Amino acid sequence: MDLLIVSPTNMPAKIELLNSFLYNHPNLYAYYPMNGNSLDSKGNVNGSDTAMSYAYGANSFNQHAVFNGSTGRISLGTSKFDFLNFTISFCMVDKGTDSVRYLWARNPAADQWANIFILMYGGLKVGGLGDPGAVETYAAVTNGAFYTFVFTTTATNNVDVYKNGVYLAGKTNGPAWNNNITNETAIGRAGAYNAYYFDGKIDELSVFNIALNPAQVKELYNNGYKAEQYLKAQRRSRQLGLISNRYAGSF
């Protein structure tokens, strides 16, 4: 049976995507809850840790990954994220050191800059292709503050970024991506480059193989990260003795 979803009050404001209906979305390609390791809960691209640690904290859904700013990274291998339309969503806390530091980077080849990147330098910067300045957009952050970000991009290099479910900025009609991925994709450094390590915390990183539209991003934030109404639905399901994991969202 289906449940009527009603938005509750005085409920916890966060839930892991693993426990949301969005976990079964057909275009969720990889999901890293960072609960003590960098395993992909979808089973497509497990991470390989170097100098990583995991901890509990006030902002964590469960545990989060801690990056040390010098050697810590999660390698996602090569030729794994070779699709053209992306959505990358994650929660993060940045320590705010005055240097370039990558949260995510996908390198087409050893001699090329990351053609999909998310980095910190005076705020969050996303974009890609060749010179990192080719397509980019910014989002301001406060040092030590907890944020959720969603970054979407398409095959024609349209780039959009959302902070805490709210659209911030975008760029359109850039050059097409180089999608021949022969080098490392990494979380926490500049892909295959032994440089630009992230210093901070990352949690709940997920990758969709489509570019979500604004309504879908809002649903991801409300029902994946905030998930207030689905917490109530889960509680009601337990009361009824029901367990349902099927995807039932609007996208």
Give how many domains the chain has, as a whole number: 1
Q: Is the pLDDT of residue 111 over 60?
A: no
- Find how far residue 152's CA is from the centre of its chain: 10
* In-domain check, residue 213: yes
What's the CA gap between 160 and 152, in Å, rounded?
A: 5
* In-domain check, residue 148: yes
* In-domain check, residue 198: yes
Q: Is the pLDDT of residue 7 over 50?
A: no
* In-domain check, residue 160: yes
What's the CA gap between 91 and 31, in Å, rounded?
A: 12
* In-domain check, residue 191: yes
What's the CA gap between 214 and 58, in Å, rounded?
A: 28
CA-based torsion, 34, 39, 44, 45: positive or negative: positive
pLDDT: which is higher, 122 or 164: 164
pLDDT of residue 5: 29
* In-domain check, residue 201: yes
pLDDT of residue 115: 63
* In-domain check, residue 78: yes
Structural domain containing residue 92? 17-240
> For the ranges 114-123, 206-215, 223-232, which has the lowest average pLDDT?
223-232
pLDDT: which is higher, 108 or 234: 108
Q: Is the pLDDT of residue 241 over 90?
A: no
What's the CA gap between 112 and 105, in Å, rounded?
A: 11
Q: Is the pLDDT of residue 159 over 60?
A: yes
Question: Domain containing 127 — which CATH number?
Answer: 2.60.120.200
Q: What angle do CA 79, 214, 116 make, to 5 degrees?
A: 25
DSSP letters for 57-81: -TT-SSEEEEEESSS-EEE--SSSS
| pLDDT (tens digit per residue) in 33-87 | 999 999 999 999 999 999 999 998 766 667 899 999 999 999 998 878 878 788 9
Percent of the chain with pLDDT over 90: 24
Percent of the chain with pLDDT over 70: 66
* In-domain check, residue 250: no
> For the ranges 41-45, 95-99, 143-147, which has the lowest average pLDDT?
95-99
Arithmetic mean of pLDDT over the chain: 75
pLDDT of residue 121: 75
